[in-house]
Amino acid sequence: MHTFNLSLPNGAAVTGISSIPSPRTSEATRTPLVIGIHGGSYNSDYFHADAKHTAAIPSQLYGVPFIAFDRPYYGGTRPPQPVSSPADYPRETGTYVHRHILPALWKEYGTGCSGVVLLCHSLGCQQGIVAAALHAGEKDPAYPLLGLVASGFGHRPTPIFSGAPPMKANHGPDHFLHAVAMKDKSMFRPGTVDAEILKQSERLNHPIPVNEAKSGLTVWMPRWRDEWAVHVKVPVMFAWAELDFFFEGTKEHLQECVEAFRNSPRVDGSWVQGAPHCMELSHWSQGWYARCFGFALECAVSSSVKSAS
């Protein structure tokens, strides 16, 4: 993957990584641009952890461009105005991604593609779902959205997650940096991850904004279905890992999440047996990526056929 630092029209910047295969002009109307939105305490490198656990493999194999950006307040992505409270975090950061980041990425990397499919993990689902909901309400959006993939964030927290003490800043005035060993125990379960990927844990560990962390339980979880998911109008693939540390990894919980997207024309529910929270870093990595890219290709073809009819 290649790194990028892209200037935005508002004077800020967005940083991240990219995998851009050789263009296939004959397939431009059926080629999606997949954009990865990482979770909390990671950055865009989450999608390129090492040579085996990377979105670059399906990107090059299928000829599908892939971008992963550092979300607001990660890496070099620093919006001009900070979010003042957890209550505003999902709406403000999701709006920023929709209005500033995704249009810029589409303009820079969308040549030869028919539209965008968002690949969201954990806290990144906040911004992906908000962006998709806002996109549905616009007559002339700044980028074409074809689909949404989401995993790792719902509304049935495990007791250990819901009972955890409030996070306090320990890295600057407004960020928290996890201890690597403790973080790995949350993101993985024994037997679900290659020992080699754990050697990347320190490199992949990044400070999380405290307001973002607090917003998950208090703001997003009780409200996302009625305030945001209901407005999404593109195809959705929503997945649950059975051994998720933070949320109930049950089929019943998955079904409740799937039903939240009741105005989407297609909603695929995926219960991934035995997988941990960070599927992209686990033994399920390439199987999961293959499904995500396959879904993205299906979204692009369906959109192309619908436009031609």
E strands present in 142-207: 145-151, 175-176
Mean per-residue pLDDT for 58-71? 96
Angle at 267 between CA 264 and CA 271, to 5 degrees: 150
As a whole number, the mean pLDDT across the chain is 94
Indicate whether 73 pLDDT > 60: yes
Q: What is the pLDDT of residue 24?
A: 57
Q: Which two tokens stand for residue 276?
A: 């941990």
User: Residue 179, class by beta-carbon neighbours within 10 Å (0-12 exposed, 13-18 middle, 19+ buried)?
Assistant: exposed
Interhelix angle 124-136/89-96, nearest 10 degrees: 70
Q: What's the pLDDT score for residue 69?
A: 98
Model confidence band, residue 306 (pLDDT cutoffs 50, 70, 90): confident
CATH of the domain at 296: 3.40.50.1820
For residue 93, what is the enclosing H or E element?
helix 89-96
Q: pLDDT category, 56, cuts 50, 70, 90?
A: very high
176 pairs with which residues across the strands?
208
Q: What is the mean predicted confidence (pLDDT) over 282-296? A: 97
Report d(CA 285, CA 283) in Å as an integer: 5
Write down the pLDDT at residue 271.
94
- Pair 262, 230: CB distance under 8 Å: yes
Q: What is the pLDDT of residues 134-168, one digit of tens each?
A: 999 999 999 999 999 999 999 999 998 888 888 88
Q: Which range of residues forms the domain containing residue 31? A: 2-308
pTM of this prediction? 0.96
Give pLDDT, residue 309. 64
Number of domains present in the structure of the chain: 1
Q: Which residue has the tokens 């074809």?
A: 146
